[in-house]
Amino acid sequence: MVNKNSSWVNLKGSWITHIVGIILLKLFFGVIPGLSLEVGWTLTNLSYCLAQYLIFHAFVGSPFDEDQGMNYHLTLWEQIDDGEHYTPSKKFLTTLPIALFLISTHYTNYSAFAFMVNFFAVVFILVAKLPAMHRRRFFGINVRDE
């Protein structure tokens, strides 16, 4: 049975959408008066990491009834490819924040403050993607009662 909630992640169009989203974020922060190039790249990185966390890791369940509650306790990240690790989609979604971190670090001229902000953002999102974090909940976040 195909999981309608997570099957869209495997489409190449969704991969392109992530890249286009990053470009649009950068353009948005680039046209705001008074924001430097460094701040624009840092805000782009922070916004993308936050969006990725919210979409893939913050919420549990599925809006579709066809799964008959099988995904009731799973985040979208845990539903992708039936929970299998190291699939092409998961590799892409893990590599993209790393690449954005490296790009934003370069364009912030390796500023120590910007590096630390970008580094903590990418570590935060990457820890949530680790296979060891599969079905792990901290501080009661995303825990649903039966």
**Per-residue pLDDT band at 138 (split at 50, 70, 90):** low
Please compute the mean of the pLDDT values over residues 52-64 and round it to a whole number: 85
pTM above 0.75, yes or no: yes
> What pLDDT sits at residue 120?
97
Residue, of 58 and 124, whose pLDDT is higher: 124
Question: Residue 140's pLDDT is what?
Answer: 59
Q: How confident is the model at residue 71 (pLDDT cuts 50, 70, 90)?
A: confident
DSSP string, the chain: ---TTTGGGGSHHHHHHHHHHHHHHHHHHHSSTT--HHHHHHHHHHHHHHHHHHHHTS-BS-S-STTTTTTTT-BHHHHGGGG-SS-HHHHHHHHHHHHHHHHHHHHTTT-HHHHHHHHHHHHHHHHHHSGGGTT--STTTT----
1 — pLDDT class (breaks 50, 70, 90):
low
Q: According to the model, what pLDDT value does residue 73 have?
A: 80
